């Protein structure tokens, strides 16, 4: 068989487990997997791992903050370039509706931005903040039927949140049209109550942000969400889970048969509220919601990763720009209430998960592939085109050096954040070569992908078999 590219002699992480062999690529697809393959263009992967390209299924790109007013630092070009250097070949950001917007126009707007600039493939979650009659009857069903098979709902934040009634209505549409519902689960009243107390005590610096979002806010919202899913049987994924209590609630709901899936993020595995115990604006760079917790929580979350509670580890990449003195651009000395929430993580996600998971012996290579790519492909309807090394799938691959030690630093990141909250953390394992639809787009420090080559991925159906719930 005539091949365009052969990646030779790597440890290939297949769905059934790793196997030392070659991967042959033709016309952007994985044409064959076997021994002794040859082509004019060959990459020697001996001593290396060949993994499915990562899918970062939770990132905010060219989006206004959930508090309003400030745009995220990255555009589709810088975000997808950074994602590629981090071993990813697809991203799923949000098409973010603001109240009053037509969701269809919002999706078209984001699609135009990404089609002009993205270096790797993409699709969107439909972020519904204003589920009017017209949206529920026409726009949402049409968009799902077109292939946008994930609907995002917020249970908190004044500009974004929907009521329980509205959640149930959206869940019914998702159920009837084969979409997944993904939810930011925090109780807004609890956050407001805790915030008012902190403000009354004069505790307004950014380092008080974690205290304004107590674990009970997440626990209550996840409990409520599990109740709602027993009224409307639709698959639901709880985004960025950060507390052991909520994780146990989800485990119980699953045991009762709820089709509930779970995501966590590297910031909850590597950082704690102690990282924020600094005065002044620097602590703002660690403000995310749900907030950073403590080291006991980290251990519980790692256990959830090891025992298959979590299906996906995503970045929730959502950084904002700070000036050279560490001050938030647009607001020199913000209180925690004014800090737009979110951290960078597109590029660090996979090395952090690999290092803390695989290199530390907590998870297998297969499990790493599931958490970083395969499960996202299944949950968002992209499987088996994406997320798996199999004949006929897109040749979206990352070649990893499992022993390479790297110190994470802002200067080696390719996003527009200008900082990394993981500064100084040493990881073991790094993606050295990234291949998108058969083309080598990252090779060491070099990058070869023009903006606009990324393709929109529309999904015919969800593909939930094989994901844990």
Out of 149, 184, 386, 414, the residue judged to bind ligand DUC by CB under 6 A: 184
Residue number with CB closer to Zn ion (117 or 184): 184
Residue number with CB closer to Zn ion (185 or 440): 185
Half-sphere exposure at residue 250, Cβ-oriented, CA atoms within 13 angstroms: 32
- CB 84, min distance to ligand DUC, A: 21
* Nearest C-alpha neighbor of 133 from the set 165, 86, 176, 87: 165
User: Running DSSP on this structure, what letter comes out for residue 269?
Assistant: H
Out of 60, 117, 213, 367, the residue judged to bind ligand DUC by CB under 6 A: 60
By CB under 5 A, what part of segment 297-356 binds Zn ion? 316
Query: What backbone phi and psi angles, to 5 degrees, belong to 10?
Result: -100, 170
* Nearest C-alpha neighbor of 107 from the set 94, 99, 95: 95
By CB under 5 A, what part of segment 44-83 binds Zn ion? none
> CB 363: neighbour CB atoms within 10 A?
20
Of all residues in this chain, which one has the CB nearest to Zn ion in the complex?
184
- CB 321, min distance to Zn ion, A: 18
By CB under 6 A, what part of segment 217-256 binds ligand DUC? none
Task: Identify whether the C-beta of residue 48 lies closer than 8 Å to the C-beta of residue 401.
Answer: yes
User: Applying CB under 6 A, does 318 fall inside the site for ligand DUC?
Assistant: yes
What does 341 bind: Zn ion, ligand DUC, none (CB cut-off 5 to 8 Å by kind)? ligand DUC
- CB 184, min distance to ligand DUC, A: 5
Per-residue binding letters, 380-399, with Zn ion (x by CB under 5 A): --------------------
What does 235 bind: Zn ion, ligand DUC, none (CB cut-off 5 to 8 Å by kind)? none
Residue 343 bridge partners (DSSP): 317
Distance of alpha carbon 68 from alpha carbon 66, whole angstroms: 5
Number of H helices, E strands in the chain: 14, 19
By CB under 5 A, what part of segment 177-216 binds Zn ion? 184
CA dihedral 156, 162, 165, 166 (to 10 degrees): -150
Angle value at C-alpha 357, between 399 and 257, nearest 5 degrees: 110
Per-residue binding letters, 278-307, with ligand DUC (x by CB under 6 A): ----------xx------------------
Distance of alpha carbon 91 from alpha carbon 111, whole angstroms: 13
Site for ligand DUC, rule CB under 6 A? 60, 66, 184, 288-289, 316, 318, 341-342
């Amino acid at each position: 068989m005539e091949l365009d590219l052969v990646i030779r002699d790597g440890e290939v992480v297949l769905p059934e487990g790793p196997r030392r062999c070659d991967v042959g690529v033709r016309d952007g697809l994985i044409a064959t997997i076997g021994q002794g393959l040859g082509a004019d263009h060959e990459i020697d992967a001996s001593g290396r791992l060949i993994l499915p390209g990562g899918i970062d299924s939770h990132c905010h790109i060219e989006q206004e903050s959930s508090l309003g007013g400030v745009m995220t630092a990255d555009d589709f070009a810088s975000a997808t370039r950074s994602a590629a250097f981090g071993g990813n070949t697809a991203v799923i950001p949000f098409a973010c509706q603001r109240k009053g917007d037509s969701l269809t126009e919002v999706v078209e707007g984001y699609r135009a931005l990404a089609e002009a600039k993205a270096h790797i493939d993409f699709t969107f979650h439909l972020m519904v903040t204003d589920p009017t009659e017209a949206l529920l009857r026409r726009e949402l069903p049409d968009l799902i039927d077109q292939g946008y098979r994930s609907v995002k709902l917020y249970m908190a934040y004044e500009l974004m949140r929907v009521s329980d009634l509205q959640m149930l209505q959206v869940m019914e549409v998702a159920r009837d049209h084969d979409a997944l519902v993904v939810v930011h689960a925090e109780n807004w009243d609890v956050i407001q109550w805790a915030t008012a107390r902190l403000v009354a005590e004069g505790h307004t610096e950014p380092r008080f942000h974690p205290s304004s979002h107590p674990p009970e806010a997440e626990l209550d919202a996840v409990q409520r969400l599990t109740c709602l899913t027993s009224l409307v049987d639709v698959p639901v994924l709880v985004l960025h889970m950060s507390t052991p209590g909520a994780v146990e609630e989800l485990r119980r709901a699953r045991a009762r048969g709820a089709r509930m899936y779970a995501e966590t993020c590297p910031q909850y595995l590597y950082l704690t509220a102690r990282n924020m115990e600094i005065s002044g604006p620097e602590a703002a760079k660690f403000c995310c919601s749900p907030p950073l917790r403590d080291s006991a929580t980290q251990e519980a979350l790692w256990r959830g990763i090891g025992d298959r509670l979590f299906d996906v580890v995503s970045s929730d990449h959502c950084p904002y720009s700070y000036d050279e003195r560490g001050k938030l651009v647009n607001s020199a000395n913000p209180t925690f209430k004014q800090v737009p929430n979110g951290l960078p993580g597109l590029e660090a996600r996979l090395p952090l998960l690999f290092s803390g998971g695989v290199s530390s012996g907590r998870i297998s290579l297969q499990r790493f592939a599931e958490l970083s790519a395969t499960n996202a492909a299944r949950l968002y309807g992209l499987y088996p085109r994406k997320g798996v090394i199999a004949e006929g799938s897109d040749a979206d691959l990352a070649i990893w050096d499992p022993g390479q030690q790297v110190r994470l630093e802002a200067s080696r990141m390719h996003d527009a954040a200008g900082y990394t909250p993981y500064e100084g953390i040493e990881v073991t394992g790094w993606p050295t070569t990234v291949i998108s639809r058969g083309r080598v787009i990252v090779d060491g420090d070099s990058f070869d992908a023009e903006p606009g080559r990324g393709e929109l991925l529309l999904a015919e159906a969800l593909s939930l078999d094989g994901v844990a719930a």
